[in-house]
């Protein structure tokens, strides 16, 4: 009985706490066994947002930044694709995936009042596999952002990688779209 004289106290049913799929019962890292899962088309779209300080943003012309190292955005696009293809070598428990497609696009946002510019790096990846392709899209966006930093640091070290996140994934148990 509860303390106010009412009926019996009933324990609330709580949803089971989600588990970390890459940790075994002995709390050790493990690769997830996807051998019993059917292959299906998987897609993912990730974004990285990079803030370019005015010193670098003022060099932006016709959708590109030219530096002594070469065209910054073109190098970042190639690096992003290469990074996505090598995700399993960088993230220890990722399954190696053959990508059917990987596209990296770079878009600039309107300049800020101070002359800075934010750049959106979009990486979209697709495969037909037993596991998702989110890590490949996130890695592609990340490597492209790091390349943009590397190529721009000769002008300024004030470049900021603000955000890397998954925007959407399809295939597998459930689809996801960021709010």
List the domain boundaries for the chain. 60-170
Which CATH architecture best describes the domain 60-170?
A: 2-Layer Sandwich (3.30)
**Active site (annotated) includes residue 150:** yes
CA dist 171 and 18 (Å) reads 20
Taking a C-beta distance cutoff of 8 angstroms, is the pair 40, 172 a contact? yes
How many CB atoms sit inside 10 A of residue 166's CB? 18
Contact 21, 32 (CB under 8 A): yes
- Per cent of the chain over pLDDT 70 is 83
What span, in angstroms and rounded, lies between the C-alpha atoms of 46 and 98? Answer: 18
Give the separation between CA 39 and CA 61, rounded to whole angstroms: 44
Measured over the CA atoms of residue 127, residue 128, residue 133 and residue 136, the dihedral's sign is negative
| pTM for this model (two decimals) | 0.83
In this predicted structure, the answer to whether residue 6 has a pLDDT above a threshold of 90 is: no
Q: What is the pLDDT of residue 33?
A: 67
What distance in Å separates the CA atoms of residue 122 and residue 137, rounded to the nearest whole number?
Answer: 8
**Phi and psi, residue 135, nearest 5°:** -65, -35
User: Cα 7 to chain center, whole Å?
Assistant: 51
Around Cβ 70, how many Cβ atoms within 10 Å? Answer: 10
Residue in the block written with tokens 């295939």: 171
Q: What is the pLDDT of residues 60-74, one digit of tens each?
A: 888 899 887 789 999
pLDDT tens column, 97-132: 999 999 999 999 999 999 999 999 999 999 999 998
Q: CA-to-CA distance for 103 and 30, rounded, in angstroms?
A: 30
Among candidate residues 24, 100, 114, 150, the one labeled active-site is 150
């Amino acid at each position: 009985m509860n303390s106010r004289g009412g009926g019996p106290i009933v324990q609330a049913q709580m949803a089971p706490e989600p588990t970390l799929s890459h940790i075994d019962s002995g709390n050790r890292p493990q690769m997830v066994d996807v051998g019993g899962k059917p292959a299906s088309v998987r897609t993912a779209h990730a974004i990285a947002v990079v803030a370019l300080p005015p010193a670098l943003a003022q060099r932006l012309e016709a959708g590109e930044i030219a530096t002594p190292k070469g065209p910054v955005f073109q190098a970042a696009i190639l690096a992003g694709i290469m990074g996505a293809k090598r995700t399993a070598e960088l993230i220890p428990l990722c399954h190696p995936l053959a990508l059917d497609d990987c596209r990296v696009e770079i878009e600039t946002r309107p300049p800020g009042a101070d002359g800075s510019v934010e750049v959106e790096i979009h990486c979209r990846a697709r495969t037909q596999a037993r596991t998702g392709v989110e890590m490949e899209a996130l890695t592609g966006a990340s490597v492209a952002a790091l390349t943009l930093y590397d190529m721009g640091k000769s002008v300024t070290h004030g470049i900021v990688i603000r955000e890397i996140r998954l925007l959407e994934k399809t295939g597998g148990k459930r689809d996801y779209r960021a709010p």
